[in-house]
Structure 1
């Protein structure tokens, strides 16, 4: 399946940007979860996920498209982010990852679809389904690009992109937040993982992770990283939920 992507090079000597915010839920997670939910068993009561950012927003939109309610399990900061970005579903809190996990399990036992984004390796194949089309677009329109950088969240996007792009001679890097500088939807591998059950566990020793400089938001962190490289014009920034700025009108 060939997808349409919003790609541009904002500055002549800078990186190329994939603007994921142009998609229906405002992020690339829409493509990933749309593919995953295509195989969802009939009769699901709703959608539930541990998320306070792009995944919950994508599931909310996809749920409404399918007439299903969505529940986001997160903390109060996550709820504030979701509400500010148009989330219409229910939000439930807990003070630890373990308790959030227990809540999700309870919903799953009651017949809700829980994608288990932190541990479900099937999501990697869902990313590969759109990453293959993306690589073709990049090769056609921006043949100078040789590197790819994306934020490190669940790891599914990073692994899927690596599987597709590395076979074409591209290098792929995952970017973590700076210490003490949390960014919505991102995590640090050393401090926030599920151990052997984690989706990224089997890949963490061979897929490079780097640390972002302190930044106000994810997109700024990605751009700063790309511009610090020796050849920023060779970098593709995977901006999960950024939107391309409108052209400035000239008098």
Structure 2
């Protein structure tokens, strides 16, 4: 059985990616931060598919905890899957933050930098010895890095997601000696708990936002999760070093 590590899989895109991978027969080690109940729900969905899943706690903003997390992954691999390595990594965990450039404070800047760039960078480094040769990685970026989707207030968030897109290309180059493919997926606005559950709290913004999409609606988690699963699977075997926008033609 192939095994994937999916970070931030207690809801939204991460949860969808974990379930979509399970539908393809992949075992899942998923992580959560504060949403333990959501992680249990993801595990339950996978078990309903006769799959195997293990939920582990991870704070993507606490790099000091990564060595212990690596040990926990090794333990889960041995205990639940009889493996010493895993095959796929999805760097999805992160958080949003919004402020105009003139109002951004250094503490907020540093928090976003750690959660959106430093964390995924060093988590990948930590898990790399456990990632099997011939495996694959998908990083989550954002179409906010694109000129046609520039929105005031997201300068730091978008810049860091842009950094992840560049990092993806360098990972693809460096890890290719082990046959490991690395791509990133750039979602458009998607119905998740993003930005403090903004869509659930402010449903009135959805119709106007939907009009900016060529396909006439905002994204759903499965729109992204299925692409992630495809890129990790055999269908994506000749794709590496790419940042793929999945946005339904936002601002096309």
- TM-score, scaled to structure 2: 0.36
Structure of greater relative contact order (alpha carbons < 8 Å, 6+ residues apart): 1
- TM-score, scaled to structure 1: 0.36
Of Structure 1 and Structure 2, the greater helix share is in 2
